[in-house]
Chain A
Amino acid sequence: MSLPEPTQRPLTQHVDHNREAYNLAEYEAHGGYESVRKMLTELSPSAGLELLKASDLRGRGGAGFPTGMKWSFVPMQSEAERLANPMQKYIVANADEMEPGTFKDRVIMEGCPHLLVEGMIVGAAILQATTGYIFIRGEYIEAAEKLNRAISECREKGWLGKNILGSGWDFDLHVHTSAGRYICGEETALLNSLEGKRATPRAKPPFPQVSGLWGKPTIVNNVETLANIPNIINYGAEWFKGLSLTEDAGTKLYGVSGRVNKAGCWELPMGTTARELLEVHAGGMRDGYKLKTFLPGGGSTPLLLPEHLDTPMDYTHIGKIGSRMGTGTMIMIDDQVDFLGALKNLEHFFAQESCGFCTPCRDGLPWVEKTLDKIIRGKGTSADIEWLDRATVNLNMGFTFCAHAPGAMGPLESALKYFRAEFETRIKLHHSETV
């Protein structure tokens, strides 16, 4: 089968909510699994890795780390070594999707499960991995069922199993359904969880690429990241870079939620502005509501203001204005929302989801929530604001074992920067009442 013409929407071209997701035969008829064929018959693992590096693909799970560079740390065997005695290596899809406000990986897994499966097989072919797992949050039952169906079809057809396409390479893939807890999405906590343990993060180094699942080399990537790989292999790095409006390559699954007219998730060129997302795709704010502030990419990304709407939504540009693109799913907060209440809602989430392993996070986050609550109830003092200021230092990068607590400080620190007056007003009210 020859490849169809490349598309502008490689991740969602086959997603259509008005029909069932493609089965294997339908998916193959649209060029599905051609990237695996190409990888196994035309390209060496190192050529595949070079393509990935050249594509400038960056991780879509939140941090935007260059995928090719991440993969280059995985130890590789020569063809002869591998055929004689293949090294046990794992590839894992992070389908935990628990960042508040994020609903993009679901779209791929429910809308085109074969794309993720293909991404994992072709990725595994590059890494010469032996087993793959899709680590999916427990509530995504429909997605897990669809992925399991896609995997069985692939086993039957020979895209999974022994000696795939006569290459001498064996690979199998399993779905692992989780049971709650946001921290499972942190990649080293995810590995502990996959091993059947409590999901507490691991110290790095060693990095998972060298010593991951059961101490073996392991790659963990977000669903959207992996879903990009088949078409990079099919159509090349230049094509992938050409999809974007800015230097960060590819397309992006963006989302908008909040009191807007048409909340949703759309695949658009990387670098689309927040304004286009809000005004064109989401149809603007609902009548009677004005945009006050927004979280550009999930609950842990620092707040931005309406004046930032024209910034291209990519890792580089959003980074330059003091926030992070995160997952690219924006949460719009309007002028009628009780702003401090919204902030407390976020900090409650982070406090509850702390894994409890390190003290600043385990003890500090509930205290942040309590302090916000005190201020909201009109019982706060200026010392409480100062305490929150200190928390944004002491619970931040370098003081905690993983990025969970620093993530919680994103919205808090930016709220204190942009909306300090709201904190102060609530305190002054209290003061004038008590004096």
Chain B
Amino acid sequence: MTEIDTQLVAQLTEQETQEILKLASHYDYPQAASIEALKIVQHYRGWVSDESLQAIAKLIEMSAEELDSVATFYSLIFRSPVGNNVIMLCDGITCWMHGCEQLKNCLSEKLGIDYGETTPDNQFTLIPVTCQGACDRAPVALKNMKLHTELNESSVLALTTLESQNRLGGSK
């Protein structure tokens, strides 16, 4: 790598770089780790900035443009900042029959935000997600990727209590 490339990659922490390279070793072509690499960075930073994107692209030998076209395709990759906690409410058919729209209204009212928005204190982002494969326990939501099932108005509001830890992120 040239010096500029090295500087670019240095945008990533040692930990992120090592985790990405380890995943890349599962494939004959490092590009195959693109989605997982984006998820690793998102796991630590909450979202994927332009700088992170360029660094990852360099590391796995893709152009930043190509990686961005991948990043923007997948719904669980965030290319803009999100709150410290991301609440994803399932709007699949079974959860819909079990009143997910009412749950959404409860959350919106409490937090003062609509889908796709973040609270002014940067604590919560609210996003709809497709069927979570837990329809036998509908209605469901993910908070910071953790599944909460058989929600009602009070348990969905309980999701808005703050725990200081974990940001959003996929498994690595």
Contact = CB atoms under 8 A, between A and B. Distances in A.
Interface of A: 97-103, 105-106, 133, 137-141, 144-145, 174, 176-182, 193-199, 214, 255-259, 263-265, 295, 299, 329, 331, 333-334, 337, 341-342, 345-346, 349, 352-353
B29 A98 contact: no
Question: Considering residues B28, B34, B170, B171, which has the most beta carbons from chain A within 10 angstroms of its beta carbon?
Answer: B171
B97 A195 contact: no
A193 B35 contact: yes
Contact of B94 (A98, A331, A341, A353): A331
Shortest beta-carbon contacts, A-B, top 7: A180-B75, A257-B135, A196-B34, A179-B74, A263-B136, A180-B76, A179-B76
Determine the interface band of chain B, counting residues with CB < 8 A from chain A.
35 or more
A106 B133 contact: yes
B136 A182 contact: no
Contact of A174 (B26, B94, B98, B138): B26
Given A99-B131, A197-B31, A331-B93, 10 more contacts: A98-B130, A100-B92, A139-B142, A141-B171, A176-B36, A179-B170, A180-B130, A195-B32, A196-B34, A197-B34
Nearest to A348: B91
Contacts of A193: 35
Contacts of B31: 195-197
12 contacts: A98-B130, A139-B142, A179-B75, A196-B27, A196-B29, A198-B73, A199-B74, A214-B28, A256-B136, A263-B138, A265-B136, A299-B93
B13 to A, nearest CB: 20
B165 interface: no
Nearest to B33: A196
Question: Considering residues A193, A295, A337, which has the most beta carbons from chain B within 10 angstroms of its beta carbon?
Answer: A193
Contacts, number: 139
A145 B172 CA distance: 9
A263 B93 CA distance: 14
A140 B145 CA distance: 9
B53 to A, nearest CB: 14
Contacts of B93: 100-101, 295, 299, 331, 342, 345-346, 349
Contacts of A198: 69-70, 73
A145 B171 contact: yes
Contact of B130 (A174, A337, A349): A349
Contact of A196 (B70, B76, B98, B137): B70
Contacts of B34: 196-197
A180 B74 contact: yes
B167 interface: no
Question: Considering residues A257, A334, A337, which has the most beta carbons from chain B within 10 angstroms of its beta carbon?
Answer: A257
Nearest to A265: B136
A141 B76 CA distance: 13
Nearest to B75: A180
Nearest to A259: B97
Contact of B98 (A98, A102, A259): A259
B171 A177 contact: yes
Contacts of A214: 28-29
A259 B99 CA distance: 11
B35 A179 contact: yes
Contacts of A349: 92-93, 130-131
Contact of B91 (A133, A140, A258, A345): A345
B39 interface: yes
A340 B28 CA distance: 48
A103 B75 contact: no
Nearest to B147: A139
A199 B32 contact: no
Given A177-B170, A179-B76, A194 B97 contact: no
A265 B75 CA distance: 27
